[in-house]
Amino acid sequence: MDFLRPASWEEALAAKAEHPTAVPIAGGTDVMVEINFDHRRPEYLLDLTRIGDLYEWETGERSVRLGASVPYTTIMENLRGELPGLALASHTVASPQIRNRGGVGGNLGTASPAGDAHPALLAAGAQVEAESVRGTRLIPIDDFYTGVKRNALAPDELIRAVHVDRADGPQQYSKVGTRNAMVIAVCAFGLALHPESRTVRTGIGSAAPTPVRAKAAEEFLNAALEEGGFWDNGKIITPSVAKQFADLCAGACNPIDDVRGTASYRRHAVGVMARRTLTWTWESYRGTDGRTHQKGSVA
């Protein structure tokens, strides 16, 4: 196994073009586990730790450009207002050591359905900035996950950054595990209210072959909120609406039985998390008088 260590982004792109099978390593929180347990033995490792651009972020008027290697700790400490759902997800990642090393780019590159960042990125409608020597493109998060631990990157592409719109309403994230820390998700759920467009978005992790949205649940809730005038009057969402939303979220799952949980438990847990996060986010929205919502407020 050869170790490639570019000193610049341009060198990294050239190395990936020359060695398309090279496996990128930054935080190493996923890759090194697989190597240590002999689950994979790549011919080349592409070390990205010397590329400072990957550890930077930019906050614009409408969105945040998050470098692929920005640590979860940095997201928690500096971007809670702009990206509340992702900040909450970052809190649940493993241990302080891993939160100090790991970043969203690694979650996306590995594309494990259990990755903690995926539900929050789906709910926020993120875009993945992928680059190669051929050029740069933005991949909508809905199109990024293509299979179990597979993504839409071409063999010569690397993830440079993630673009996430600044929150225009409350966001929430919930995760179920077998313990409170150092745990892989049994399942996870993200929810974002988007008052400017009067829509909601969801994200589900570890309950299907890929991270997914509960699109039927979103469509139902969007219609219910609009028809009931909830965005304007700030009324409490009725239990029947919350239950139907939860049931549709559970129905969006396609889970498996494994050592962490059964398929039936995952479906049940996703429904519970959907109902709870809807309650939390809507109470936060109502707390801003239903019409004067504050950007980035956290339920």
Domain containing residue 219: CATH number: 3.30.390.50
In total, how many domains does the chain have?
2
Whether residue 152 is contained in a domain is answered as: no
Tell me if the pTM is above 0.85.
Answer: yes
User: Percent of the chain, pLDDT > 70?
Assistant: 96
Contact (CB, 8 A) for 97 and 29? no
Is residue 35 in some structural domain?
Answer: yes
Condensed to tens digits (0 to 9), the pLDDT of residues 36-61 reads 988 889 999 999 999 999 999 999 99
Number of Cβ atoms within 10 Å of the Cβ of 184: 15
Residue 103, Ramachandran bin (φ over 0: left; ψ between -120 and 50: alpha; else beta): beta
Residue 265 lies in a domain: yes
Token code pair at residue 69: 């290697």
What CATH number does residue 4 fall under?
Answer: 3.30.43.10
Q: What is the mean pLDDT of residues 80-94?
A: 97
Sequence-separated (6 or more) residues with CB below 8 Å from residue 148: 113, 209, 210
* Banded pLDDT at 289 (limits 50, 70, 90): low
CA–CA separation, 69 and 95 (whole Å): 17
Give domain status of residue 38, yes or no: yes
When pLDDT is cut at 50, 70 and 90, the band that residue 294 belongs to is: very low
Whether 101 maps to a domain, the answer reads: no
Whether residue 250 has pLDDT greater than 50: yes
Q: In which domain, by residue range, is 195 found?
A: 171-287
Residue 203 is assigned to a structural domain of this protein: yes
**Is residue 154 assigned to a domain?**
no
Q: What is the pLDDT of residue 29?
A: 81
The yes-or-no verdict on residue 75 having pLDDT over 90 is yes
Mean pLDDT throughout 149-167? 98
For residue 256, being part of any structural domain is answered with yes
Does the pLDDT of residue 102 top 90, yes or no?
yes
